[in-house]
């Protein structure tokens, strides 16, 4: 008892103190070892290249690499904690298992850190990149704008006009200001280019009017307005000084700025008030729809709804949706009138806009948006710098705001070809469907009445009609008078019936309530977990609907289009309710058992067809499904793809795009990115961040490959291997203070697919499913999804599985992975699973009164703080810990690359990021150096994560990217052929280089690697700053032991023997949050010694 009490007392000390104590106890042994090494040069060389294997068999960095990122560190894990970890791994069947060999990394030159630790290094390089722009932004937020000029004072002249107090308006080439708030207005139905723009600085207002727009105004009597083209870019000047441009959804405005279409980056940095709002007070996906309903209920004084959702008041008070109206109302308690925008810029025409009275009114509206945006900026910037205080966060955000893409005239060809192939495939299927309709209408009534599919059609014949008098209603409904033939598509309600589709060899039926079903004879031996459909309650309603339809049938010329679908079918609910010999079941849907199957020809049913679950006697059914699958990407994405604004180097206002001259035209695209578009601070963009990888049978999926590097340049990039999986497991390992200590950490680092010891293989064996299907369960669980999610997913993958079996399997999975949950009035924690340590650590962070990411100390949105949501939205909060840490990873990677590219004169710039994937556009002769810089940046970033989680070491297996791609097109992997139905060209392969291959090529950043870092004075940095302090889980050995126990009885026994008054570190507190008490409330304290 005394020994256990001593262990518990030891555990409540900080991890840092424990490490120091351990180091002192090992000092003499360490000194003796060093003396032995120095006895001969041969022994020293052997030691230098000897593998370093940690206590649980994970290979760590070799000494020469370790010393580069963890200088003067001799951290050794607590041996009592090592013992606990080994026992835990043995219980999980992992300790001593076969692992994959990690290739050695030959010694190469790596730049020295800019500080005494990796944390100081990133603070220093981040601060050097962020400081000047942050100070500009802060000075802007501390200033005020002049009053908006009267609309009568606007000068209706092409280009920029400056307005200053007590001075006449003057035409200027561009706003020569370092601080600007900016907004552009467009008529997207006519042109992507701006019509008018307004900008404001503390000293003046500026307006810009498109020269093309005023040309139309001047010549409108001579020309048709709709045939004129708007194609002016907005000049902002290439200033020598640094400039901050603020806007709401600023990437939209940036895409209209002339100077942004150039490889040589401008000195413009863009700050998005929408992104700042999302980061500090944004809503998660689950909250957004409720907020909108709650807002409407307040507007309409719907007391019933407000009482029912009383819990939501606290969330509503601290957050809003992202549009400028609601954001302005939240922070400034005012209203923004957007009605004029809808009237003129959404539903209006150029002819309306060019009327001078309207034009003046619209300029004032644009200026009002600028003023509202600026007032929001004054509120959100200081708060953001408090919530995300690390300079790397600010610098990374600015870098994300400068993304761009390059292409060629192949872009136009791609759009044309994809559309042509789609139209051709669609027309071929529709022709065959129309033939089936023509054949069906000729059948006799005797054949129809016993036909499961055709009897569902409406075979009534209307009286007193002149056109098509001898044809049934379903046929008349699909008949096109103009083309004098029927029109049937795969989306037509009758298409599955014409194709005579079956589900599990049973005929399909359609119901308004349940969607597509299948009928099983009652005497059939058939088992399913799908609940049978019930119709008795619908009979009365169906008769009323039938009367309405009959009334409409008497007036065919006035038929409501919304009833067209229902009129094609008999839709007699009594047909189902009175069917004593059959049972009807819903066709399963990917969204769960309550979701309706809208069409069995949808793309996600192609797998069911291939497995024979969905079948048909007609070969055209398979063709229709395959056509739907082939066209699905293009149908869902083509509007977004077509809306991309491509500016070519032959644009009349573009001298060049900053690239070397070539014979091939070059185009540039500015992605419409919100740099922090979700509460996890992930970037959001509708096209490029959702683009799928190329698939041979998907029309248009070659989209990424049409992004091409100009001649003489290369794309250099990589995907971070299992980024968020590693982050989550590392947070769990941090309880022990070394890598691979938990089962989750060990599987992530050492798991072997062939031995079945990796995470996905383990889950597959538990659930008896494929490894690829297991990935869905794993990522869903790690992001916080619960048992119901697993049960629903199992039933989706196997519709014949019984409810009890699905529940049993899912429970077994969660018991063996997440573990069991122990709850009493003092403690709440997970135990006994391979992921229990990880989930306890994630919940420790998520349920803190002021949650912060462990590495860059970024805070959570107000709308998810515990004092606002209590115990709710736990899935979103756990997801935030992992994904927001992933954003920290990206920002560190970008800051590091910017530092190295500038330091070693690597000719390139950041181009695109899609979550864990980054790409840079680089001059071809510098592409290998850029690849090495990217590897070093990843190495530094991984080391930073380990250090800030209290582990001064790093596994060799994850220190570097598995490979860096050097390519001439944008694609997932350099060897992908990118051939599709719509793209048959052969694309030359790129290069995929490992760190070992780069070293073999003798690639070096620079001959003089060890340059003095004269820009950094690390001694001025306050080492006690929270930003440099590693995260501390401070768990005792009792805490660690209890999480690995298997039964509640064991937990209760250990707790009763070793109960202390000390509260567990991951206990779910419910403490009120007082921001004014935060260490970071006065942000300038962090930088005061430096600035």
Structure letter (DSSP) for residue 1076: G
Contacts of 266 (CB under 8 A, 6+ apart): 236, 238, 239, 259, 260
427 is catalytic: no
Q: How would DSSP label each residue in 1005-1065? A: S-S--S---TT--GGGS-TT-GGGSPP-----HHHHHHHT-SSHHHHHHHHHHH--SSPPT
The residues with which 674 forms a beta bridge, in sequence order, are 684
d(CA 314, CA 873): 14
Residue 306, phi then psi, degrees to nearest 5: -65, -40
Q: How far apart are CA 1039 and CA 830, in angstroms?
A: 11
Helical residues (DSSP H) of 333-409, grouped into ranges: 339-341, 350-353, 356-387, 391-400
Q: How far is CA 370 from CA 207, 279, 365, in A?
A: 11, 21, 9
Contact by Cβ (8 Å): 204, 177? yes
Residue whose tokens read 């079903």: 517
Q: Report CA dihedral (416, 417, 421, 424) to the nearest 10 degrees.
A: 50
> Residue 336: which of 361, 372, 304 has the closest Cα?
372
Instruction: Give per-residue burial for 995-1018: e unless 16+ CB within 10 Å, then b.
Output: beebbeeebbbeeeeeeebeebeb
C-alpha span between 427 and 672 (Å, rounded): 34
Q: How many CB atoms lie within 10 A of CB 399?
A: 22
User: Contact at 8 Å (CB) between 112 and 71?
Assistant: no
Cα–Cα distance for residue pair 851/58, rounded to 1 Å = 31
502-503 sheet: strands from edge to edge: 582-586, 515-521, 506-511, 502-503, 614-615
Instruction: At 885, list the tokens.
Output: 């840490």
Tokens of 1000: 């073999």
Indicate the burial class of 901 (C-beta count within 10 angstroms; 0-12, 13-18, 19 or more).
buried
Contacts of 544 (CB under 8 A, 6+ apart): none
Catalytic residue among 63, 142, 144, 183: 183
Q: Catalytic residues, which ones?
A: 183
């Amino acid at each position: 008892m005394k020994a256990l009490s001593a262990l518990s007392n030891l555990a409540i000390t900080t991890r840092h103190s424990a490490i120091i104590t351990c180091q002192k106890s090992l000092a003499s042994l360490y000194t003796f070892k060093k003396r032995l090494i120095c006895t001969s040069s041969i022994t020293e060389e052997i030691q230098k290249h000897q593998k370093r294997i940690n206590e649980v068999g994970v290979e760590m960095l070799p000494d020469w690499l370790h010393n580069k990122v963890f200088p003067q560190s001799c951290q050794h894990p607590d041996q009592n904690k090592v013992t606990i970890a080994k026992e835990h791994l043995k219980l999980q069947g992992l300790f001593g298992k076969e692992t994959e060999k990690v290739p050695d990394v030959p010694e190469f030159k790596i730049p020295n850190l800019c500080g005494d630790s990796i944390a100081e290094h990133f603070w220093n390089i981040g601060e050097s990149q962020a400081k000047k722009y942050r100070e500009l932004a802060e000075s802007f937020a501390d200033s005020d704008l002049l009053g908006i000029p009267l609309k009568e004072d606007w000068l209706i002249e092409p280009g920029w006009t400056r307005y200053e107090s007590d001075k006449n308006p003057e035409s200027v080439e561009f706003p020569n200001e370092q601080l600007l708030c900016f907004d552009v207005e467009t008529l997207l139905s006519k042109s992507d280019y701006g019509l008018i723009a307004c900008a404001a600085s503390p000293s003046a207002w500026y307006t810009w009017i498109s020269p093309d727009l005023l040309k139309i105004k001047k010549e409108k009597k001579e020309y048709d307005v709709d045939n004129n083209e708007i194609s002016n870019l907005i000049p902002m000047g290439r200033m020598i000084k640094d400039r901050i441009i603020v806007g709401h959804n600023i990437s939209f405005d940036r895409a209209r700025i002339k100077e942004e279409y150039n490889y040589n980056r401008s000195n413009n940095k863009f700050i998005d008030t929408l992104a700042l709002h999302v980061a500090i007070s944004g809503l998660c996906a689950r909250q957004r729809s409720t907020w909108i309903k709650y807002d409407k209920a307040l507007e309409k004084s719907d007391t019933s709804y407000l009482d029912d959702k009383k819990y939501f008041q606290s969330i509503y008070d601290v957050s809003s949706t992202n549009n400028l109206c609601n954001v302005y109302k939240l922070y400034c308690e005012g209203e923004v009138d957007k009605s004029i925008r809808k009237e003129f810029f959404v539903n209006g025409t150029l002819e309306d806009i060019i009327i001078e009275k309207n034009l003046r009114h619209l300029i004032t509206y644009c200026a009002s948006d600028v003023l509202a945006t600026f007032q929001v900026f004054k509120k959100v910037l200081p708060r953001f710098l408090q919530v995300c205080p690390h300079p790397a966060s600010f610098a990374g955000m600015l870098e994300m705001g400068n993304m761009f893409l390059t292409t060629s005239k192949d872009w136009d060809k791609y759009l044309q070809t994809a559309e042509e192939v789609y139209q051709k495939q669609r027309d071929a299927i529709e022709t065959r469907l129309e033939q089936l309709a023509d054949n069906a209408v000729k059948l006799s009534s005797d054949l129809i009445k016993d036909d499961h599919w055709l009897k569902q059609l409406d075979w009534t014949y209307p009286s007193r009609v002149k056109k098509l008098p001898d044809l049934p209603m379903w046929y008349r409904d699909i008949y096109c008078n103009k083309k004098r033939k029927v029109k049937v598509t795969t989306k037509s309600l009758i298409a599955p019936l014409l194709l005579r589709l079956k589900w599990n060899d049973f005929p399909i039926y359609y119901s308004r309530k349940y969607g597509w079903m299948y009928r099983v004879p009652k005497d059939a031996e058939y088992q399913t977990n799908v609940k049978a459909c019930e119709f008795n309650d619908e009979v009365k309603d169906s008769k009323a609907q039938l009367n309405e339809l009959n009334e409409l049938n008497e007036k065919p010329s006035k038929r409501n289009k919304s009833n067209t679908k229902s009129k094609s079918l008999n839709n007699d609910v009594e047909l189902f309710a009175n069917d004593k010999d059959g049972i009807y079941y819903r066709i399963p849907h990917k969204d769960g058992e309550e979701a309706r199957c809208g069409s069995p020809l949808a793309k996600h049913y192609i797998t069911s067809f291939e497995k024979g679950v969905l079948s048909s006697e007609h070969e055209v059914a398979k063709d229709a499904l395959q056509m739907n699958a082939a066209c699905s990407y293009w149908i869902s994405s083509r509007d977004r793809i077509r809306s991309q604004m491509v500016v070519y180097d032959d644009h009349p206002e573009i001298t060049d795009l900053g690239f070397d001259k070539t014979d091939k035209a070059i185009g540039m695209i500015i992605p419409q990115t919100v740099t922090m578009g979700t509460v996890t601070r992930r970037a959001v963009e509708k096209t490029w961040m959702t683009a799928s990888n190329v698939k041979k049978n998907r029309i248009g999926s070659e989209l990424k490959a049409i992004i091409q590097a100009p001649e003489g340049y290369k794309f250099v990039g990589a995907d971070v291997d299992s980024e968020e999986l590693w982050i989550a497991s590392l947070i769990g390992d941090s309880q022990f203070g070394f890598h691979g200590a938990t089962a989750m950490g060990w599987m992530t680092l050492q798991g072997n697919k062939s031995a079945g010891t990796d995470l996905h293989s383990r889950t597959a064996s538990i659930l008896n499913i494929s490894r690829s299907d297991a990935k869905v369960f794993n990522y869903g669980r790690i992001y916080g999804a619960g048992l119901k999610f697993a049960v629903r997913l199992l039933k989706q993958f196997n519709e014949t599985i019984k409810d009890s079996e699905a529940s049993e399997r899912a429970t077994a999975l969660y018991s063996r992975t997440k573990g069991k949950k122990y709850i009493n009035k003092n403690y709440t924690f997970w135990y006994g699973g391979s992921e229990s340590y990880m989930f306890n650590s994630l919940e420790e962070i998520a349920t803190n009164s002021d949650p912060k990411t462990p590495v860059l100390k970024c805070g959570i949105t107000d709308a998810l703080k515990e004092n606002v949501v209590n115990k709710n939205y736990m899935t979103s909060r756990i997801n935030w810990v992992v994904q927001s840490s992933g954003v920290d990873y990206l920002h560190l990677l970008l800051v590091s690359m910017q530092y190295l590219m500038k330091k070693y004169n690597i000719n390139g710039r950041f181009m695109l990021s899609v979550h864990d994937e980054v790409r840079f556009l680089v001059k071809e002769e510098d592409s290998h150096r850029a690849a090495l810089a990217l590897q070093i940046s990843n190495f530094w970033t991984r080391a930073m994560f380990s250090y800030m989680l209290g582990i001064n070491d790093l596994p060799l297996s994850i220190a570097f990217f598995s490979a860096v791609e050097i390519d001439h097109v944008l694609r997932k992997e350099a060897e992908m052929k990118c051939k599709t139905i719509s793209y048959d060209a052969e694309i030359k392969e790129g290069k995929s280089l490992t760190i070992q291959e780069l070293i073999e090529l003798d690639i070096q950043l620079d001959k003089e690697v060890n340059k003095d870092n004269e820009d950094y004075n690390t001694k001025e940095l306050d080492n006690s700053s929270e930003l440099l302090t590693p995260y501390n889980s401070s768990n005792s050995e009792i805490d660690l032991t209890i999480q690995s126990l298997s039964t509640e009885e064991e937990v209760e026994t250990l707790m009763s023997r070793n109960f202390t008054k000390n509260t567990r570190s991951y206990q779910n507190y419910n403490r009120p949050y007082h921001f004014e008490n935060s260490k970071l409330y006065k942000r300038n304290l962090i930088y005061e010694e430096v600035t």
